[in-house]
Amino acid sequence: MLMWKLLKKNLSVPQLAGYVFAGFAGLSIILFGIQFYADTKPLYSSNDSFLNPDFLVINKKISALSTLSLSSTVFSEKEIDDIQKQAFVKKTGFFTSSKFGIRATVSSSTFGRFYTEMFFESVPDDFIDVQSEDWTWSSEHNYIPIIIPRTYLTLYNFGFAQSQGLPQVSENLVEKIKLTVTIYGNGKTKNFDAHIAGFSDKLNTILAPESFLKWANAEFGSENTTKPSRILVETYNPGDPLIAKYFGEKNYEIADYRGNTGKAAYFMRLVIITVLIIGLIITLLAISLMLLSISLLIYKNKEKIENLILLGYSHTVIAKPYQILSLSLTVFIFLLAFAVVLIFRNLYIEKISILFDNAKIASSIIFTFTAGFAILFIICLINVFWIRKKVNETAK
Amino acid sequence: MKTIKLNTVKPNIFSESEVSGSEIWLKNICFEKGKAYLIFSESGKGKSSLFDFIYCRRNDYSGEILFDEKNAKRFKAVQKRELRSKHISLVFQGFRLFSELTAIENVEIKNRLTNYKTKKQIVEMFEQMDITAKINTPLSLLSFGQKQRVAIIRSLCQPFDFLLLDEAFSHLDEANYSIACNLIADEVKNQNAALLVASLGEPYKFKYNYKILL
């Protein structure tokens, strides 16, 4: 191609190699940062998959006095009224407890057969954010969805399983385990199928649908009513500093509210943001190098470009070889960076995927690719316009 | 394009007294398609400037140049492109060839844009100009006279209404410029174009309708 033969003159290979190297370094860091953040997000994310983050769970602190029944851990009507009057409170909800006996049995080839006595609690359905088909119960169904605290699984994976030589399990796998729940009371017994529909960090209880609990309490339960010891509070903004202040003064606890997970997440984010900024700076330097190199090339070929214009060539046609050059190099850099990110990801992903839902992790590659392509698109756009501008300036 | 009109054009670098004897600067003159013009003057009177203005390469003049009543100063890049590839061809005094390319590539880079001549016709022109031996030689290895002939061949590889020759035979002997003049005259006749020849006074082998002192 004659145009290329003409315009490649004065091309600086070291400069372009510098762009490839620096661009590759910068983009790898950025993409790896994004990928790592996406992959490890469940590790320090305190959001329940099913509980709206605007909800807080409040309970009174348990002291030696409360154990001796000298101070109550239940909320009085006056205290509840006071909470409801606070400006940050949108609405409140209460837990319903099971007033009958429950025994859960698990039979599986991996774990063998074991059973445990347990309890259920429920909260109003509008506080729960699981897909409705997963979180329904009606008296015709012989089937109960339940939500357990995530700490139960952590306890099993890192305490029990390791010490007993049992396999570690992911949340995804646990959700597939079938349980048999036996309910007894009032001289009646009934068996139900159950499965775990979700995990919660905020609610340290075992949740069943409210409709089920109401029905079962009426059917199997005893009559006595209890005052609530925990309250669900929906806030307008969970970050409101008044919330921590108010509950702190009242000596109430907020479950999983800016606890250690929050601090770890904060530092993790800080580290990742720092890494991303470094990657961004390197990338910007690489782009500057590329633009400078192309500007220099165009400047050195100024006379040739002017002569082509005088022959009747358009600026677009003249800019094209330079644009193709810079775009191919940029795409090459991206493919290289993507490849490196995938290779590094494979090194750590196995460990993470034991602990978390495989499906969630798989989808996060797409996120990095999307982010990567967005960056690629922007860089290409900058290159194309810059080259066009420089060619236009060279020969008017 | 039928006419190029110059209305009181004067290069900014010249004062009015410097152009007082000129028949072009600060006068109204119209170049018409199909006519031949010899524009002569001693050095430094602005022959190359005049062609640069007509070719829309420079704008540093007062007055106006009209292409069929359209003002040259208002031409956008796309109109200039059209002008240079379809209406006006110019043999630059400094050739403006590409030293990285071979002789024939220098011609082809123009012809690719216009698709005006076939490869065979181009080779024939090289033969007539007696530089066939240099056809695939890098331009940097050619003599001035050979380069000048390549520049002339290139200028003929496009449709034009006006052909502008800016001292196009300065490095050629009489035998060689006679051949070149015949080739050019044939093409100009074929295209029914106007010929504008800038020279120091030498008329070369053309027949002119007008001889104008610049």
pLDDT tens digits along A216-227: 888 888 766 667
Same domain, A23 and A141: no
- Residue A354: the pLDDT is 67
Measured CA to CA, the distance from residue A303 to residue A157 in angstroms comes to: 71
Q: Cβ of B108 and A2 within 8 Å? A: yes
A 9-38 residues with CB < 8 A to B: 9
CA of A312, closest CA in chain B: separation in Å? 5
pLDDT band at B154 (very low <50, low <70, confident <90, very high): very high
* Pair (A199, A215) in one structural domain: yes
Better-scored residue on pLDDT, A49 or A6: A6
B138 has a chain A CB within 8 A of its CB: no
Query: Same domain for A62 and A155?
Result: yes
- C-beta atoms of A311 and B77 within 8 A: no
Give the per-residue pLDDT at A242.
80
| Optimal mutation site among B87, B95, B96, interface A, most CBs of chain A within 10 A | B96
Domain containing B59 equals: 3-213
Q: How far is B84 from chain A (nearest CA, A)?
A: 5
Do A273 and A354 have their domain in common?
yes
Q: Is B175 on the interface with A (CB under 8 A)?
A: no
d(CA A56, CA A246): 13
Q: How far is CA B172 from CA B51, B143, B196, B213, in A?
A: 21, 11, 19, 23
CB A309 within 8 A of CB A270: no
Give the separation between CA A261 and CA A239, rounded to whole angstroms. 16
Q: Which residues of B touch A311 (CB under 8 A)?
A: 84-85, 109-110, 113
Cα–Cα distance, B39 to B45 (Å, whole number): 11
pLDDT digits (tens, 9 = 90+) for A313-347: 999 999 999 999 999 999 999 999 999 999 988 88
- Residue A236 burial (10 A CB sphere; 0-12, 13-18, 19+): exposed
Which chain B residue's Cα is nearest to A7? B100
Same domain (yes/no): A181, A325: no
**Looking at the predicted structure, is the pLDDT value of residue A201 above 90?**
no
Residues of chain B with pLDDT > 70, as a percent, come to 100
How many helices and strands, by DSSP H and E, does chain B display?
Answer: 6, 9
Please tell me the predicted confidence (pLDDT) of residue A264.
66
Listed residues A257, A280, A299: the one ending a domain: A257
* Structural tokens at position A343: 């290779």
Query: How far apart are the two ends of chain A, measured CA to CA in Å?
Result: 24
| Beta pairing, strands B61-67 & B3-11 | antiparallel
β-pairing, A188-200 vs A230-235, is unpaired
**What's the confidence (pLDDT) of residue B138?**
94
Q: Between the ranges A149-153, A260-264, A375-379, where is the mean pLDDT highest?
A: A375-379
Is the model's pLDDT at A367 over the cut of 90?
Answer: no
Report the half-sphere exposure of B3 (CA within 13 A, side-chain side): 12
**Partners of residue A396 in chain B, C-beta under 8 Å:** 77
Q: What average pLDDT does this structure show over B130-155? A: 94
B55/A contact by beta carbon, under 8 A: yes
What's the confidence (pLDDT) of residue A359?
47
Q: Is A182 in the same domain as A245?
A: yes
Average the pLDDT over A110-138 and give the result.
76
What does the pLDDT average to over A52-78? 72
- Mutation for A interface: B76, B81, B83, B116, most A CBs within 10 A: B81
How many CB pairs below 8 Å do chains A and B form together? 46
From chain B, the residues in CB contact with A9 under 8 A are 100
B188: pLDDT strictly greater than 60: yes
Count of domains for chain A: 2
Nearest chain A CA: its distance from B190 CA (Å): 21
> A365-380 as b/e, with b when 16 or more CB fall inside 10 Å?
beebbebbeebbeebb
Q: Mean pLDDT over residues A76-85, rounded?
A: 84
Put simply, the answer to whether A6 touches B109 (Cβ < 8 Å) is yes
Q: Do A310 and B85 touch (CB under 8 A)?
A: no
Q: What are phi and psi of A197, to 5 degrees?
A: -95, -15
Domain boundary among the residues A230, A257, A284 is at A257
pLDDT band for position A46 (cuts 50, 70, 90): very low
Residue A296: phi and psi, rounded to 5, are -65, -45
- Is the model's pTM score more than 0.80? no
Please check the confidence at residue A111 and state whether its pLDDT lies above 80. no
Residue that wins the pLDDT comparison between A141 and B184: B184
Question: What is the distance between the alpha carbons of residues B138 and B125, in angstroms, rounded to a whole number?
Answer: 18
- Considering only CA atoms, which of B118, B129, B112 is closest in space to residue B184? B129
Nearest CA in chain A to B95: A307
Is A132 found in the same domain as A10?
A: no
- pLDDT for A166 equals 79
Confidence of residue A54 (pLDDT cuts 50, 70, 90): low
Of residues B196 and A66, more confidently modeled: B196
Shortest Cα distance, chain B CAs vs residue A318, angstroms: 12
Average pLDDT over residues A232-251: 79
Quote ipTM for the complex: 0.93
C-alpha A375/C-alpha A31 separation (Å) is: 10
Q: Final residue of a domain: which of A241, A257, A273? A: A257
The whole-angstrom separation of Cα A255 and Cα A51 is 13
Contact residues for B43 (Cβ-Cβ < 8 A; gap 6+): B200
Q: Which residue of B has its CA nearest to A305?
A: B98
Distance from CA of B172 to the nearest CA of A (A): 23
C-alpha span between A294 and A326 (Å, rounded): 8
Tell me if chain B has a CB within 8 Å of the CB of A258.
no
Query: What's the number of domains chain B is made of?
Result: 1
Q: Which of A6, A9, A312 sits opposite B85 (nearest CB)?
A: A312
Q: Is the pLDDT of residue B65 over 70?
A: yes
Asked whether the predicted pLDDT for residue A360 surpasses 60, the reply is no
Report the residue of A10, A302, A311 to disrupt the B interface, i.e. the one with the largest count of B CBs within 10 Å.
Answer: A311
Q: Scanning the structure block, which residue is given the tokens 């357990």?
A: A148
Q: Whole domain around residue A88: which residue ranges? A: 55-257
pLDDT at A122 over 90: no
Q: Is the pLDDT of residue B49 over 90?
A: yes
Structure tokens at A36: 């790592």
- Residue A75 burial (10 A CB sphere; 0-12, 13-18, 19+): buried
Distances, alpha carbon A394 to alpha carbons A70, A298, A309, B22, B92, in Å: 88, 8, 10, 34, 20
Residues in B closer than 8 angstroms to A3, CB to CB, are 109
Could you tell me if A370 and A352 lie in one domain?
Answer: yes
- Which one of A9, A311, A396 has the shortest CB-CB distance to B100? A9
Are A214 and A181 found together in one domain?
yes
We report the CATH number of the domain holding residue B164 as 3.40.50.300
Rounded-to-integer distance, Cα A18 and Cα A287, Å: 10
Question: How far is the alpha carbon of B169 from chain A, nearest alpha carbon, in Å?
Answer: 20
